[in-house]
Amino acid sequence: MSNLKNFPRVSLCHTPTPLENLARLSAYLGCKIWVKRDDCSGLAGGGNKTRKLEYLLADAIQKGADTVVTVGGLQSNHARQTAAAAAKMGLACELILQDVVGVPQQDYYHNGNLLLDQLCGAKIHRVTVEQSSELVVEQVVAELKNKGKMPYVIPLGGSNALGSLGYVNCADEIITQSHALNVAFDHIIVASGSAGTQAGLLAGLIAQHQDIPVLGICVSRSGLAQQSLVESLLKQTLSLLNIDQSWSHGKVKANGDYYGDGYGISTASMIHAVRLVAQLEGLLLDPVYTGKAMAGLFDLCQQGVFKPEHNILFLHTGGSQGLFAYREVF
């Protein structure tokens, strides 16, 4: 048990998100595959960041903020959901969006998440790869303060301990749904980037004394580097929940075999996974996160790491809006 209920929270998410069996994909892969539909979390296309923003925006409002500032890549799903959440809460939103190398050239700079950020009324500050986005954040915050505004900075991906609480809630939903379906999950698979989703999920499972392994598929760094990032955030999240940090011991698993040449850079296995899941299940993944995580799941089933009798839960963290930026890749 934890003190989760004590944290202020605004309501942005359609929860509980569905948890479904993927029968045709299971038959294809020879493992029992389930999906937790956090792509259906409801806000401007949904995705994992909406759960984090319920806590982050409650904190912003409590602190008297009138403007939310956050940072990400040019096609950041986090930025889109932040822009939408700020709009819904009546706050202004400024996004510091950095160019990403090795990505498609045509729609990346106009379509997908970037189009939706603008529709939601966010002000966009473009940052080149050579510039430091932290420095630009500082400048934007200083300018806002000079104008008498009250900015609230949300870190990359909404990944601090407060944001991770959103995934403590998701862990609770998964446990309830697993009981209702009478299915015991043997593994949970999730795309892991700025780490808050995996850290929050693990904190929620630890709080409920559940031992389901959670495997993070890295989207931007090696397994070892990701593991230490998630571990550190997991400890901070457990502390915030008044749970002994030592319970994090041995819980964090990350696999860096599937992100290819870097963040946002397409891989053949991602393209194959996105296509196949769309064609077998009518389920839309994304090119940067869930497509690579699903490519990992395919490979681990094919290698026999996941066995036919295993129930595997894929956490769909959203992002299909990004497909429109990657048209030429598909």
Residues 20, 35: Cα–Cα separation, whole Å: 5
Binding flag, residue 104, ligand PLP (CB under 6 A): no
In the list 111, 197, 248, 266, the residue contacting ligand PLP (rule: CB under 6 A) is 197
Residue 80 CB, nearest approach to ligand PLP (Å): 9
In the list 122, 217, 286, 292, the residue contacting ligand PLP (rule: CB under 6 A) is 286
The answer to whether 49 and 82 are in contact (CB under 8 A) is: yes
Closer of 181 and 278 to ligand PLP (Cβ): 278
Closer of 144 and 154 to ligand PLP (Cβ): 154
148: left (phi over 0), alpha (psi -120 to 50) or beta: left
Closer of 133 and 144 to ligand PLP (Cβ): 133
Closer of 77 and 144 to ligand PLP (Cβ): 77
In the list 48, 178, 255, 311, the residue contacting ligand PLP (rule: CB under 6 A) is 48
Q: Give the list of residues 6+ apart from residue 204 with CB closer than 8 angstroms, or none.
A: 167, 168, 169, 170, 171, 172
The answer to whether 215 and 241 are in contact (CB under 8 A) is: no
Binding flag, residue 37, ligand PLP (CB under 6 A): no
Q: Give the list of residues 6+ apart from residue 272 with CB closer than 8 angstroms, or none.
A: 295, 298
Binding flag, residue 196, ligand PLP (CB under 6 A): yes
DSSP H or E stretch at residue 93: strand 92-98
User: Residues touching ligand PLP: how many (CB under 6 A)?
Assistant: 20
For residue 319 the two structure tokens come to: 């992002």
The answer to whether 321 and 116 are in contact (CB under 8 A) is: yes
Binding flag, residue 256, ligand PLP (CB under 6 A): no
Side-chain half-sphere CA neighbours of 225 within 13 A? 9
Binding flag, residue 117, ligand PLP (CB under 6 A): no
In the list 235, 319, 325, 326, the residue contacting ligand PLP (rule: CB under 6 A) is 319
One-character DSSP codes across 236-277? HHHHHTT--GGGGTTTEEEE-SSSTTSTT---HHHHHHHHHH
Closer of 70 and 159 to ligand PLP (Cβ): 159
Is 41 in the active site?
Answer: no
Residue 241 CB, nearest approach to ligand PLP (Å): 17
Q: What's the chain's Rg over C-alpha atoms?
A: 19
Contacting range for ligand PLP; rule: CB under 6 A; set: 22-30, 98-106, 187-195, 306-314 = 187-195
Q: Find the catalytic residue in 2, 26, 41, 76.
A: 76
For residue 296 the two structure tokens come to: 């990992």
Catalytic residue annotation: 76
Q: Which residues bind ligand PLP (CB under 6 A)?
A: 47-48, 77-78, 157, 159, 191-198, 286, 289-290, 317-319
